[in-house]
Structure 1
Amino acid sequence: MPWRLLRFGLNSKHPEPRMFSDVQALKPSYDVVIIGAGGHGLAAAYYLAREHGITNVAVLEKGYIGGGNTGRNTTIIRSNYLTPEGVKFYDTSVKLWQDLSEDFDLNLFYSTRGHFTLAHTDSAVRTMRWRAEVNKHYGVDSELVGPDFIKRACPSIDISCNGHAPILGALYHAPGSIARHDAVAWGYGRGACQRGVEIHQQTAVTGIEVKGGKVVGVQTSRGHIATNKVLCAVAGSTPRL
């Protein structure tokens, strides 16, 4: 381990301020309650504050920031989907990613490397061609490529797959990128905190209170919170709520 890293880790005084404000008590009510402090929940809080001036917001997280799906994904950033809605939605997302490190003043290790979706059957090749044409129609850089192209780009790949289901082609998506996904949660969280949003970790939501067909509050492991707007961004834990 480098000496500088060890020295920094053992030092009780750090030159950088805390990433997130140390909020203790829950207020009795908030304009907005966001359940889940992952990428989606923290992004919503960040943009509500930055773009709309809505800062009386509580983000409630049963564990720790970015400890759920955000910390366990494939790191891939792409927009080479099939449906028109998906292509346009994710293309906007890809463009947001390109400037996030600058927006956050935090290195997300965003790196554009290109993305291959491999096809091992004739039907898969047809689907890749279909996706490529849909992508091109909406201005997204994707194309169907053959085994030679794949081999040149990835010399170590075994096109034959050792004789089992060889690679026949691929959908190549040049803007495909990767990033440090947990840092995205930290960046959104810090930006939201700096604008007045409260993030409460170790605070589990146990129920959403509804009266007359409208949300009026949430029940948590730390008590009741009144609110008329709730965003549930808990990925795989959604059925529990």
Structure 2
Amino acid sequence: MTTRYSAFSLFKEGLAGQTGWQPAWRSPEPKLSYDAIVIGGGGHGLATAYYLAKNHNITSVAVLEKGWIGGGNTGRNTTVVRSNYYYPESIELYGLAHRLYEGLSKELNYNVMLSQRGMVNLCHSTGEMEIGARTVNAMQINGIDAELFSPDDVRRVAPIYNFSPDARFPVFGGIWQGRAGTARHDAVAWGYARAASRLGVDIIQNCEITDFIIEGGRCRGVQTSRGAIRAERIGMAVAGHSSVLAAKAGFRLPINSYALQACVSEPVKPILDTVVL
């Protein structure tokens, strides 16, 4: 059983020389079979396992991760938490995710470092302002907080930006969502791993999928670098590797995987703590 984090436990461990902490999650040997297998130990895979256990009482679950928890795409993304989308379907999905984030640290008993400092998407032309107005209207109609900013509004939250009319990208305004912000997504993965493990989910790291066990036209399990593991239900949450694993399983997804390179900067105060450029 993992220690429940609190101010008291932090004080107690400080007095004891930090010697009483338990591992954040269990690292058991894989069993021969489970009720369900989730391939991918990132935020989505771990969240899937956690909610299977918490909401559906399915605790015989294995999360199989090729590397280590928090070492994949989850640890390399842009940290933005937002729900500023146009289409109703996207608003519904990201709106729910946004609300979950707002209570996630308390639910998981793990600080995911959510900082709701707001986010502005800049508009650099009259055409973009028209699109921005439509987006704000769509968000508000669907119950999501949003404001259409003027250049003065943008200047108030991002005074360091170059507001000269001769700037390469002059500011015409922007879309503001005050509830948006940032979170440590690797901490999100660690929090979900810890909470799922407490509910009985097995977190199996350094476990690469090498093939799928297909019997009678149905997937019955996976071959891994740590042996065969069977399950009645198998899900994949492997981001850019989705098409690769789908090919191993013998089917083609209607998507293509592309390598994406991005420069992601840390939130350096006070420059990047109020605006995402």
Q: TM-score, normalised on structure 1?
A: 0.90
How much has 1:122 moved relative to structure 2? 2.5
Q: 2: distance between equivalents of 1:83 and 1:213?
A: 37
Cα-to-partner distance string for 1:104-155 (whole Å, 9 max, x where unaligned): 2222221111111111123222221111111001110112111110001111
How much has 1:162 moved relative to structure 2? 5.8
Tell me the amino acid that sits aligned with residue 90 of structure 2: G
How much has 1:100 moved relative to structure 2? 1.0
* Structure-2 change in CA distance of 1:150 and 1:220 (3 Å): same
Q: Between Structure 1 and Structure 2, how many residues are aligned? A: 231
Single out whichever of 202-211 and 192-201 deviates more from structure 2.
Answer: 202-211
Counterpart selection for 1:52 from 52, 56, 68 = 56
1:223 aligns with 2:237: no
Contact 1:214 1:228 in 2 (8 A): no
Q: Which runs of 5+ in 2 are unaligned?
A: 1-12, 246-277
Tell me the amino acid that sits aligned with residue 210 of structure 2: T
How much has 1:209 moved relative to structure 2? 3.0
Contact 1:113 1:176 in 2 (8 A): yes
| 3-state secondary structure, aligned to 1:95 | helix
Single out whichever of 186-195 and 124-133 deviates more from structure 2.
Answer: 124-133
* Structure-2 change in CA distance of 1:131 and 1:209 (3 Å): farther
| Corresponding residue of 1:15 | 20
Tell me the amino acid that sits aligned with residue 208 of structure 1: F
How much has 1:161 moved relative to structure 2? 8.0
Contact 2:111 2:191 in 1 (8 A): no
| Corresponding residue of 1:3 | none
Q: Which runs of 5+ in 1 are unaligned?
A: 1-7
Cα-to-partner distance string for 1:161-200 (whole Å, 9 max, x where unaligned): 8621212111111110211211111110001111110011
Contact 2:27 2:205 in 1 (8 A): no
Tell me the amino acid that sits aligned with residue 20 of structure 2: P
Contact 1:33 1:229 in 2 (8 A): yes
Cα RMSD after superposing both structures: 1.8
Q: 1: distance between equivalents of 2:201 and 2:151?
A: 50
Is the helix fraction higher in 1 or 2?
A: 1
Q: 1: distance between equivalents of 2:233 and 2:41?
A: 16
* Structure-2 change in CA distance of 1:168 and 1:194 (3 Å): same
Q: 1: distance between equivalents of 2:225 and 2:46?
A: 20
Q: TM-score, normalised on structure 2?
A: 0.79
* Structure-2 change in CA distance of 1:18 and 1:12 (3 Å): farther
Counterpart selection for 1:84 from 67, 88, 91 = 88
| Corresponding residue of 2:196 | 192
Aligned-residue sequence identity (percent) comes to 42
Counterpart selection for 2:154 from 150, 154, 170 = 150
Q: 1: distance between equivalents of 2:22 and 2:137?
A: 48
Q: 1: distance between equivalents of 2:173 and 2:158?
A: 13
Relative contact order: is structure 1 or structure 2 higher (C-alpha 8 Å, sep ≥ 6)? 1
Single out whichever of 212-221 and 29-38 deviates more from structure 2.
Answer: 212-221
| 3-state secondary structure, aligned to 1:229 | strand
Q: 2: distance between equivalents of 1:12 and 1:36?
A: 35
